[in-house]
């Protein structure tokens, strides 16, 4: 009995025994893991999850002419020429390269002048022969005149017969006719020399005006001619020269809207290569004829100021402005059309605020080509998102890159 009691005593829990302290290492590890998860979430939320967008600052909208018509066209040079030779010959020299600026009268190329120089030397020799013959004939004519005068004196005294007088007169007339012929031959020889000299000058190809060489069409050794040869081996041009001061824009305007265009009208041009560059321009002329197939009328537009970035055959978009100034309220701002989004018939913009996206409903007060005027809901200097708005929600983190 005593043995069983002692065994039960051993199994009984001694509640009077002191409690052992809990381990602190587990709590420290838990806290560190919690902080690490919070840091990862904060980093992902603020950086990895930020949308990349492009923004532009809203600018104050002053009064400006309203766009009445948009069109597109190309930059053209009103003064452009394919420079060619006046004569047929072989190219022996080229003095230009593509892109080179040249002045009027500069030598561009030379054609082989050897045949022309031979012809010129022959004409000069013929002139010299005619001049020597004229001098000889003049001496003979002087002698014939003295013989005639002597014959007249002798005939008066019946020393010579009238037949001798007639022969002296005939000799004088013949020598005078010969002198007239030699003078004519000298004139012909001089004109032949002038012709050969002009042909020799024509072997030198010069720039007809100030400009830039945009195309090189011939090389030394090739045959060049002002007329096209059937075989196709003869060049008809040396280079293409463009006067960069004559650049303007040619636009085909639909004939239904040509009534919106007038001579001298203000135009805003944008090159396809530089879409953010607004170039002031104006209408030079409306060509008074319509294209039957295109149903359009050609309009010439001149730049207010030329720029080296403007090149021939570049694509360009133009906005024809109205004559009246359109007033806007105080505090109105202008932003690109690309900043606008629509949802359910309402127009919105996305504004960057402290690194977050905010959607605002706005009303467009005015359109100015590729821009719009907003009279309220936006202040000058606020950053408006103009690209990558799709999928944004108010409060989303964003990373900005300015235009």
Question: Considering the domain boundaries, does residue 25 fall inside one?
Answer: no
CATH number of the domain within which 212 lies:
2.40.50.100
The CATH number covering residue 197 comes to 1.20.120
Give the pair of three-digit tokens for residue 179: 């002198």
Q: What CA–CA distance (Å, rounded) separates 231 from 220?
A: 19
- Determine the pLDDT at residue 121: 93
Whether residues 214 and 104 share a domain: the answer is: yes
Domain hosting residue 274, numbered range: 66-78+245-324
Interval 55-69: pLDDT, tens: 888 877 665 567 788
Global pTM value? 0.56
Would you give per-residue pLDDT tens digits along the chain (403 residues)?
A: 445 555 555 555 555 444 445 455 667 777 777 777 776 665 555 554 577 888 888 877 665 567 788 999 999 999 999 999 888 889 999 999 999 999 999 999 999 999 999 999 999 999 999 999 889 888 888 888 888 888 777 877 777 778 887 888 888 888 889 888 999 999 999 999 999 999 999 999 999 999 999 999 889 998 888 876 555 567 788 999 999 999 999 999 999 999 989 998 999 999 999 988 999 999 999 999 999 999 999 999 999 999 999 999 999 999 998 754 445 566 788 888 888 888 888 888 888 888 888 888 888 887 766 788 887 778 888 888 888 878 788 888 888 776 5
Q: Is residue 299 part of a domain?
A: yes
> Residue 212: enclosing H or E segment and its boundaries?
strand 211-216
In this structure, what CATH number is given to the domain that contains residue 310?
2.40.30.170
**pLDDT score of 19:** 47
pLDDT of residue 45: 56
201's CB contacts (< 8 A; 6+ apart) are none
**Pair 126, 256 in one domain:** no
- Number of domains the chain contains: 4
Calculate the alpha carbon distances from 143 to 159, 173, 179 in Å.
20, 12, 14
Q: Which two tokens stand for residue 376?
A: 């309220």
Please name which of 259, 326, 258 lies closest in space to residue 297, comparing C-alpha atoms.
258
Q: Are 386 and 339 in contact (CB under 8 A)?
A: yes
Q: How far apart are CA 247 and CA 74, in angstroms?
A: 10
Q: Looking at 78-150, which runs of residues are DSSP E strands?
A: 80-83, 89-94, 101-102, 107-111
**Tokens found for residue 193:** 């020399």
Q: Establish if 18 belongs to a structural domain.
A: no
For residues 358 and 393, state if they share a domain. Answer: yes
Q: Give the residue among 76, 104, 110, 83 at the shortest CA–CA distance from 241.
A: 83
Which three-class secondary structure state does DSSP give residue 293? coil
* 119 and 88 within one domain: no
| Claim to verify: residue 212 and residue 249 sit in the same structural domain | no
Asked if residue 285 and residue 148 are part of one domain, the reply reads no
Q: Is residue 172 part of a domain?
A: yes
Please give the pLDDT value at position 322.
75
């Amino acid at each position: 009995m005593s043995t069983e009691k002692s065994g039960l005593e051993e199994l009984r829990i001694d509640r009077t025994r002191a409690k052992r302290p809990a381990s602190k290492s587990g709590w420290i590890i838990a806290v560190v893991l919690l902080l690490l998860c919070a840091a990862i979430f904060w980093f992902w939320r603020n950086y990895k999850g930020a949308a990349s967008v492009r923004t532009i600052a809203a600018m104050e909208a002053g009064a400006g002419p309203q766009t009445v018509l948009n069109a597109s066209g190309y930059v053209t040079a009103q003064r452009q020429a394919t420079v060619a030779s006046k004569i047929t010959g072989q190219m022996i020299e080229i003095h230009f390269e593509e892109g080179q600026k040249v002045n009027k009268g500069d030598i561009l190329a030379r054609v082989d002048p050897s045949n022309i120089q031979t012809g010129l030397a022959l004409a000069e020799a013929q002139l010299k022969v005619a001049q020597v013959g004229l001098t000889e004939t003049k001496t003979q004519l002087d002698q014939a005149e003295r013989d005639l005068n002597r014959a007249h004196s002798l005939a008066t005294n019946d020393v010579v017969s009238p037949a001798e007088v007639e022969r002296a007169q005939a000799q004088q007339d013949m020598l005078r006719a010969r002198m007239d012929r030699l003078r004519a031959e000298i004139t012909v020889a001089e004109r032949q020399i002038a012709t050969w000299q002009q042909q020799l000058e024509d072997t030198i190809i010069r720039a007809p005006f100030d400009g830039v060489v945009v195309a090189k069409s011939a090389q030394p050794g090739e045959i060049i001619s002002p007329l096209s040869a059937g075989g196709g081996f003869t060049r008809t041009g040396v280079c293409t020269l463009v006067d960069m001061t004559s650049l303007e824009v040619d636009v085909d305007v639909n004939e239904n809207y040509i009534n919106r265009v007038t001579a001298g009208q203000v135009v805003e041009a944008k090159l396809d290569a530089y879409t953010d560059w607004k170039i002031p321009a104006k209408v030079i002329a409306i060509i008074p004829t319509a294209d039957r197939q295109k149903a359009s009328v050609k309009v010439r537009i001149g730049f207010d100021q030329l720029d080296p970035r403007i090149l021939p055959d570049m694509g360009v978009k133009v906005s024809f402005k109205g004559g009246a100034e359109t007033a806007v309220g105080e505090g109105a701002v202008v932003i690109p059309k690309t900043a606008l989004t629509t949802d359910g018939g309402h127009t919105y913009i996305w504004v960057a605020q402290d690194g977050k996206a905010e959607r605002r409903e706005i009303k467009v007060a005015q359109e100015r080509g590729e821009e719009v005027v907003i009279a309220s809901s936006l202040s000058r200097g606020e950053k408006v998102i103009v690209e990558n708005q799709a999928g944004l929600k108010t409060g989303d983190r964003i990373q900005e890159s300015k235009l």
